[in-house]
Structure 1
Amino acid sequence: MSTRTRLVTLIAAGVAVVLAAGIALTVTLGRPKVAPQPDPVAATVPVALKAEGLPKDFSIGVVLTLGQSGEPGSEYSRAAQGTIVAARRFVQGGTAVALRAQNDRGTEEGARAAVRALSEQGVSGVVVASTGPQARAAAKTAEELSLPAILPYADPSDPAQSTWTTRPSAASVEAALRTALNGKNRVLLVSDGGQVPASVQIPQALNLGDFEDVMGLAQEAAIRTGDQLRPPAEDAPEGTEPTKVAEPADAVVVSAGTPQRLARLVQALQSRDVSVPLVSSDGATSPAFASALAGLDGTASGQLVSVAAAGGDAAALQQDAQGRGMSAFLSAVRLAAGDAEVKNLTGDAPFSADAWAADAPSHDAVVALVRAAALAGSNDPSKVSAALRTMSVGPGEGLAGPSLDFSRTGALTAEAIPLFASSQDLGLRPADENAPRLVWVPAPASS
């Protein structure tokens, strides 16, 4: 380890200790205590990763949806830069891992063409870093070509032996949403084309399509929550006072078709001073939501709740194996961002521009495929798939997020839980005045 790397590691450790002592988290909504678990992982997780047995000329394909206008699937194109961090960590350990990126153009046909192009380039597996129909099309094409495919942000429509998702299961998300709404008896749904699990009973709903604009919807929602008074009817007698609803909603579930539209709903509700929890089951933890909310001058507060597995930056403050794995990942993010020669996946901008968004799920997908190829001792995709099906990997193998068990299609071993928004700067990523300040933690945090 170089002097510079040792210094960065020591500084990161010091920052984590100070922040862990300084951030007080108050558990609410009936969140259960977690019993201590055995921790067999070493006291430190190295930034550089080794992969003995990995064949030469090993490469992984990454399928992206590119776009700057909220195209479905593009919400994770910046998060997927975590793949760059994983590849760099193996290079630091003396093992070359090449990444090949292809744009699926936001269509199913584009996704199929992207996977075929990657197969022709000789990749040993693919990370499908998109969502929606194109992600499912990419996974299906990978199956047909016998390419192992990992989907960090989507579920395959027809899971196969060579296809895995690392996102929480639908049942887990439903359970976490019910936990987030525990004790709330007058829940209001505010929707812009999104979906809410059918098992979650919501007695009243407002849909954007029934209003002239989003502010009209937000005003009605604020009336329903008791944060605004309902004005008198046009034909009411002169002098009639505005009234407050008798039984105001005690929580709002916010749902939209894309993270950008979700951010628009949230900001509109905040602008009308809605004070009850705003709960979303999908999309809010994506970088696109954080960026869109910041662009609209929305607020990252503890009243903003989402549902996901606990694998964000705040995990680095934990004194356990996952905390050390996340700390090592974030150290690698800082090192990559500090090297002007490190580019993003498409090679048209420096990695540093997306360092704030690079996430653990995309990073961990690359780590898993590398480990499988090293175990197989082969670049042959079918052999990589066969090896991956036998594997469980965690922080000891270089993961930043929760452990993954690839003996099943849904590889994520962690359950989804309620996560709460905070604008606190943890100081664990490179300083970037243009980056949105939104961190998700497993309990409300003071901003």
Structure 2
Amino acid sequence: MKEKLTNIGIPVALLLLITVIAIAGILRVKADEKDEAVAVTVPVELNVDGNVKGSSYGLIVTIGNENAQGSQWNQAASGAKVALERFNRSGADLHLATEDDRGTDEGARQAVENLAAQKVSGIVISSSGDHVQAAVQAAKERNIPVILPYENSIDDARSLQPSTESLNDVLSAEHPGGKGIIRIDQEGFAGIDVPAERTLSVNGFTDINTFSQSLVKDTAEAGSDTVVFVDASAYQEAKLTRALQEAGLKTQIVLGPQATSPAFNDVFMKDNQSTVINAQSIGFNAGDSVALQSDGQGRSMSAYLQMVKILSESKDAMSVMGDQKFSDVAASADSRSHDALVALVRATEHAESIAPQDVKSSLNDLKLSSADGITSADMDFAQHHVIQDAPLLLSANAGDVEMRVADANAPSHLVWFAQA
């Protein structure tokens, strides 16, 4: 599927950011000298040099239910659509081709082949799981650069995720050697091998409610330093978190990065009358709360969210697959897929040509900051895990999404933010 998004909608007055997080401590002001290059108000449009005009980029997603590996991120991929529109509003004339890899090795290889035939300059793989390796290998054979917003670095592909080692460091800082950690593993899920005192397993046949009630009894006398770490897919993480919460678990719950996916939100919030989630996740702070920061990163996130809302108010804007109105996925459009496409465009901007091999060479030396349009901390693509920041514990609240959509009756959505 190939699309060229035309200039739609007129920017409204500056949006009043309505947030559910009334916690002043989430503001992490960074007195970084690079912020001086970021205007007080970051424009919604992103400018590029003329040699980038007319270039095409590939986006690989996984469509399917929870049995389709990587499907938890398919709605998050609409963040790339936001980046596309931001560039095209400045006359960049960029194109985005989207392919479904079906969550399989064969589908992943075919997706890359289809994108290569469309002469893309680079590929964003908005999926995760073992099958991503097949896509990365196929891209490497064709010398096409790849960025992975939701998967660890594979081969020469660059990742916007924290490394496994840095994620382990977050927990080991308070639980050296796994002391006090009870890890729940989902069978067949390749997650984070966090050291633990005790490990439990669940699978598709596990009665989650009975399992949760049993764990609550086992930990009734546990000390305050006990942590339950859930290492599972987004779908299973959400089911376990809700079941443990409803069973009355008193110990702290920590979730892997899958918890920040749209699928986790959908499963956890479905028919849920509670607006409380008694769990944390680990990763980079990539949520909407970043817009409350007074630094360049905060202003860049604010500009991103403005474009999300502009697209959600357009009757013509569609999702990356073209099968839904953008307003239906606006709450899930993720800043990391946005940043991945921004990085590929910036690499093309500095490359000798829009040919993928030239863009790949340029990408490997690329350094980006908020001034370039990314919403994350600084990036250095000389590293395989490019974000120059440390992961941390994230908390979440369920609230409205009025900073993204105009519908006051839109369903509540989980908003993740850095702990104070």
TM-score for both structures, normalised by structure 2? 0.89
Partners of 1:73 and 1:196 in 2: how far apart? 13
1:278 partner letter? I
Q: Greater CA radius of gyration, 1 or 2?
A: 1
Contact 1:55/1:377, CA 8 A, preserved across alignment: no
Q: CA deviation at 1:213?
A: 1.0
Distance 1:381 1:50 in 2: 21
Cα offsets for 1:116-140 (capped at 9, x unmatched): 1100111111111111122111111
In 2: Cα distance, 1:340 partner to 1:349 partner: 11
Contact 1:126 1:150 survives alignment (8 Å): yes
Shift of 1:97: 1.0
Q: Give the letter for the 2:171 counterpart.
A: L
Contact 1:79-1:362 at 8 Å conserved across structures: yes
Q: Distance in 2 between matches of 1:319 and 1:349?
A: 34
What is the distance in 2 between the residues matched to 1:84 and 1:218?
39
Q: Which residue of 1 aligns with 2:359?
A: 384
Check the 8 A contact 2:69/2:104 in 1, yes or no: no
Structure 1: distance between partners of 2:384 and 2:236: 30
Which of 52, 57, 61 pairs up with 2:54?
57
Deviations 1:164-191 (A, max 9, x none): 1111111111112334758995332233
Shift of residue 6, structure 1, vs aligned partner: 5.7
The residue number in structure 2 matching 1:293 is 268
> Once the 2 structures are TM-superposed, how far is the Cα of residue 47 of structure 1 from its aligned partner?
0.3
- Residue 302 of structure 1: CA displacement? 5.8
| Structure 1 partner of 2:133 | 136
Separation in 1 of the partners of 2:92 and 2:132? 29
Residue 132 of structure 1 aligns to a residue whose secondary structure is coil
For 1:250, the equivalent position in structure 2 comes to 226
Q: Which residue of 2 aligns with 1:166?
A: 160
Letter in 2 for 1:155: N
Match of 2:397 among 422, 431, 442: 422
Cα RMSD for the two superposed structures: 2.8
User: Residue 251 of structure 1: CA displacement?
Assistant: 2.4
Q: Could you tell me which residue of structure 2 aligns to residue 241 of structure 1? A: none
SS at match of 2:250: coil
TM-score (norm 1): 0.84
Return the alpha-carbon distance in structure 2 between the equivalents of residues 298 and 253 of structure 1: 24
Residue aligning to 1:203: 197
Q: Is the 8 A contact 2:366 2:380 kept in 1?
A: yes
Residues 300 and 421 of structure 1 are in contact (CA less than 8 Å); yes or no, is this contact kept in structure 2? no
Structure 1 unmatched runs, 5+: 28-32, 227-244
Measure, in 2, the Cα distance between the counterparts of 1:379 and 1:246: 58
Q: C-alpha separation between the residues in 2 aligned to 1:191 and 1:42?
A: 46
Decide which of 214, 219, 223 is 1:220's aligned counterpart.
214
Give distance in 2, aligned partners of 1:197 and 1:364.
24
Match of 2:22 in 1: 23
Q: Which amino acid aligns with 1:250?
A: T
Instruction: Give 3-state SS (helix, strand or coil) of 1:423's partner.
Output: strand
What residue number does 2:121 align with? 124
| Distance 1:211-1:222 versus aligned 2 partners, 3 A rule | farther
Distance 1:25 1:276, change over 3 A: farther
Please list, as runs of the form range in 1=range in 2, the aligned pairs for 1:8-407 lying within 5 A after superposition. 8=13, 10=14, 12=15, 14-15=16-17, 23-25=22-24, 36-38=31-33, 39-40=35-36, 41-157=38-154, 159-160=155-156, 163-179=157-173, 186-193=180-187, 194=189, 197-198=192-193, 200-208=194-202, 213-226=207-220, 245=221, 250-256=226-232, 258-295=233-270, 297=272, 299=274, 301=276, 303-376=278-351, 378-407=353-382
Identity of aligned residues (%): 32
- 2:308 and 2:324 map into 1 onto residues whose CA distance is 16
TM-aligned CA deviation for residue 57 of structure 1: 2.6
Q: Distance in 1 between matches of 2:293 and 2:323?
A: 36
Do the aligned partners of 1:53 and 1:375 also contact (CA within 8 Å) in 2? no
CA–CA distance in structure 1, aligned partners of residues 383 and 195 of structure 2? 30
Q: Which amino acid aligns with 2:17?
A: V
Q: Are the structure 2 counterparts of residues 265 and 53 from structure 1 closer, same or farther at C-alpha, using a change threshold of 3 Å?
A: same
In 1, Cα distance between equivalents of 2:370 and 2:97: 25
Q: Secondary structure at the match of 2:77?
A: helix
Partner amino acid, structure 2, of 1:152:
P
Q: Would you say the 8 A contact 1:218–1:269 is kept in 2?
A: yes
**Residue aligned with 2:169, SS:** helix
Distance in 1 (CA, whole Å) between partners of 2:213 and 2:292 is 39
